Amino acid sequence: MNVVRSLLDTGFALRYTPLWEVPSGKGGILFCNLDVTDRIGREPAADTLLANLTKYLNNAKKSAEVPVAYAGGKIGVDTGVYPQGVVKGTTGVQILGRGCKAWLGTNGEKLAQFAKGGGTVVALGLTTDEAKLLQKALGGFSVESKVNWLNPLEGPLPDVFRGLSVADLRWRKKLETPVVATVKAGWCSKTGVLAQLPVGMGRLVWVSAISDDFDLQERQDMVFTNVQTARLVNVVLQNLGVYRSAKPDYWTQRLAASTPANEADLYNDKRTIHDDPYAYMRW
């Protein structure tokens, strides 16, 4: 399943959504399972929701092709679809994943020029050593290693984190990661696990944890945080206009198919019954 941008979180552990958006190609599909149609013209809340959804769709921006490159190791999402190395030009997105220490040591100066010229640098699950090399290259912020598990979000979020909520940052174990500690400007979450910071004419987008930090072999219920964190990373990349996947676009395929969907295909993780009391219920 490709990126799903949740617009409303509900249910057990806020793991379900009756209102979600699936970007597809240059457009997208909006799914609404809220009981709206029978209430139009009778309940103001339904009228307001429909008006807001219509406005949202009418104002949706079409994403242009954005140059992108990746440096680092495996981070729990499909990075093999990105060109490896340094992004070409002074605009675009340079993704840095855990395992980029050697790359940062060699390309720190180029990275700073790229960001200051208007590029976006995305840091995903860096180690403490990698985070300090990035801090040295870009400046304007400091990092420290901290243990977190509840990560509140307050106030309006930057567009790069659109579609995320506190449910995506409630980790099912206490995890020590590098976090953004101090900033000169920009936005930073309360615990420093998410941040967007200006760098010259460009910016740094910071995500502290990756799905590989939550091992399903360690505890079965880690599946919740593992899946949520993978989705968080993919949503951020989608919001930046650079999400790629080696898998076919599931929803576009389903809309064009002549046969009904297999319901099991709609699930992107495997659960056991005791993990989630709602997992095997159908409404």
The answer to whether residues 107 and 136 belong to one domain is yes
Q: Could you identify the residue written with the tokens 């091992």?
A: 215
Residues 204, 183 share a domain:
yes
Select from 273, 7, 36, 266 the least CA-distant residue to 281. 273
195 and 105 assigned to the same domain: yes
Residues 74, 188, single domain; the answer is yes
Q: Are residues 186 and 224 in the same domain?
A: yes
Low-confidence ranges of the chain (pLDDT < 50): 1, 273-274, 281-283
pLDDT in tens, 146-187: 999 999 998 899 999 998 988 899 999 999 999 999 999 999
Residue 95 domain flag: yes
Instruction: Look at residue 133 and tell me if it is in a domain.
Output: yes
223 and 160 in one domain? yes
Range of the domain at 118: 68-239
Claim to verify: residue 44 and residue 130 sit in the same structural domain: no
Q: How far is CA 88 from CA 79, 94, 119, 134, in A?
A: 18, 9, 10, 19
- Say whether both 132 and 29 belong to one domain: no
Asked whether residue 210 is domain-assigned, the answer is yes
pLDDT tens by residue, 261-272: 676 666 555 555
Q: Could you tell me if residue 280 is inside a domain?
A: no
Helix axes 128-138, 101-116, angle to 10 degrees: 30
Output the pLDDT for position 268. Answer: 53
CB of 129 closer than 8 Å to CB of 101: yes
